[in-house]
Structures are given as C-alpha cells and as structure tokens.
Amino acid sequence: MNQPHVLILGGTTEARQLASLLSAEDARGGGPGGPPAPRAPGGSAPVPHRLRVTTSLAGRTANPAPLPGELRTGGFPDAGGLSRWLTEHRVAALVDATHPFAARISRHAARASARSGVPLLALRRPGWSAGPGDDWHVVGSPEQAAAVLPGLGRRAFLTVGRTGAAAFAHLDSVWFLIRTLEAPEPPVPPRAEVLLDRGPFTVEAERGLLQRYAIDVLVTKDSGGAATAAKLTAAREAGLPAVVIGRPPVPGGVTVTSSPQEAADWVRARTGRRCTGSA
C-alpha cells in the first residue's frame, strides 16, 4: 500500500512536534488509542498504513537535532522548484511550519501549493502581546528598529537572528550584546559583543544578563513561543523599553493554526490517516 507523503517545511519547535505526532502513528493501527488497522485477506498481519513524513530544512543550522521521519536539507530557491518537488515526490499535504519571519519560503509555499494543487497549512506559534508595565515600541522591520533605537538607549540587547544584525551595522553610538544561535552574518555593529546561546531561557538568567551588561534597551523580533519570552519579562521588571519587530503576514488565502495537534488532524483529514499521539 502506498504511504501518503507529507512535506513539512521546518526549522521550528512546532515543526518538530508535528513530525513527532505524524511519525508516532503505529504501523499496526491508526495510532495510540486508535482503531486497529484493517487486516490483510485471510486474517494475516495488519496492512501497514503509516504516513511518509519528510521535513525540509534550509540548512542554515550546521548541526540540526535529529528529526522523526525523513530529512531534506537545502531549502527551495523558488516556488517553481518546490512545486516540482511536490509533484515528483507525490506529496499529499504540505505544512509550512517555518519561522514566523521566514516570509520568502512562506510565499514560495503558497505559490507552489496553488500551482501543484497540494493543500497547504501554515503552522505558526502565537505572537507575543504587550502587558501591563511593558514599554513596547512596535516597528515593521529591522531597519525601522535601527532608526528608533538611538533615541531609546545606548546599550542594546539585540536578539533578531544571525542575519538581522546587519540592519544595525551603521550605528556607532550604541553598544550591542548580540545573542544568536550561530555567529551573525556580517556586517555587524562596530561596538558589539556576540553571545552564542540556545534557549529556552529563564527569567532569572535573563535578569542577570541585563544587569551584567548594563543593558538599557531590548531589541527583538516577535518570534512568539515560550523558549525566548523570558527576556521580555526581565525587561519589563527592569523598566526597560523594548523595540519589537512585528512579524510579516501569512500569505493570503492560507489556513493558519497555532496547534501542532490541529495540524496533525488537518493532515489526517487530507490523507485519510489517523494522526494522534504525543509529541
């Protein structure tokens, strides 16, 4: 029996959770707690009906953690290449679970879905929201963040990813603590220290970081999720302003969910497979 093929455009915690949910489907049945699979003629062993799950990564992280299912690296340069891959590999469902700021691949996914006829779902973690005591300055791009920053502080904690520091490279009046998973791509600000680290981060640790480096302003993207939200709490406690770069919109006409389980259910509905379990 052919296995329905699902392609996950990954690189996020949510993508990993979805791959785990889909790959957890038991070959002997519909998944934990699900009904048993139909038996072959004569009552022999059950007919396997697991999903084939492929996660595609752009390849920007040197040593990604192992993923359930199959792994493809290198990304897709354009919508045409992704559309051809979907057709050639007989993909039944496409899930865009990339980073909320990966706007280009999200546009490619929407166009490739329209061209190939493969249904598309966007899986996005919820964004952050300002609360009582927050001093947020919401902007639309890293360039806009760089424009307002000098009026807010002189020692900035910059957490905008390894490609985002370039927008601040012309600022010589601000000192930066740049935290990224891997070394930032040049150019970078002339007065800066780079801290390579991976979340999740605690409020206590973030509080200590702000104090140790005498930070007086935070600059971040609205990435959402709990792993890196502690810096916002620490900044609020310290009374520091935060420049928050708003996320780009999901392409029009694309269904969006913030739940990996809902994404798994969506895949099930389009492949006729039960996809439940624990990620």
- Regarding whether 117 and 41 lie in a shared domain, the answer is yes
The 3 state secondary structure assigned to the chain is: CCCCEEEEECCCHHHHHHHHHHHCCCCCECCCCCCECCECCCCCCECCCCCEEEEEECCCCCCCCCCCCEEEECCCCCHHHHHHHHHHCCEEEEEECCCCCCHHHHHHHHHHHHHHCCCEEEECCCCCCCCCCCEEEEECCHHHHHHHHHHCCCEEEEECCCCCHHHHCCCCCCEEEEEECCCCCCCCCCCEEEEECCCCCCHHHHHHHHHHCCCCEEEEECCCCCCCCHHHHHHHHHCCEEEEECCCCCCCCCEEECCHHHHHHHHHHHHCCCCCCCC
pLDDT at 219 over 70: yes
Q: Does residue 279 sit within a domain?
A: no
pLDDT at residue number 50: 79
Domain count, the chain: 2
Q: CATH number of the domain at 36, please.
A: 3.40.50
Mean pLDDT of 6-20: 95
pLDDT tens digits, 138-195: 999 999 999 999 999 999 999 999 999 999 999 999 999 999 999 999 999 999 999 9
- Regarding whether 100 and 85 lie in a shared domain, the answer is yes
pLDDT at residue number 66: 78
pLDDT tens digits, 19-43: 999 988 533 344 433 334 444 334 4
pLDDT tens digits, 57-96: 987 666 667 789 999 998 898 999 999 999 999 999 999 9
pLDDT at residue number 62: 60
- Regarding whether 79 and 13 lie in a shared domain, the answer is yes
Query: Do residues 68 and 17 lie in contact, with contact meaning Cβ atoms separated by under 8 Å?
Result: no
Residue 198, domain extent: 135-245
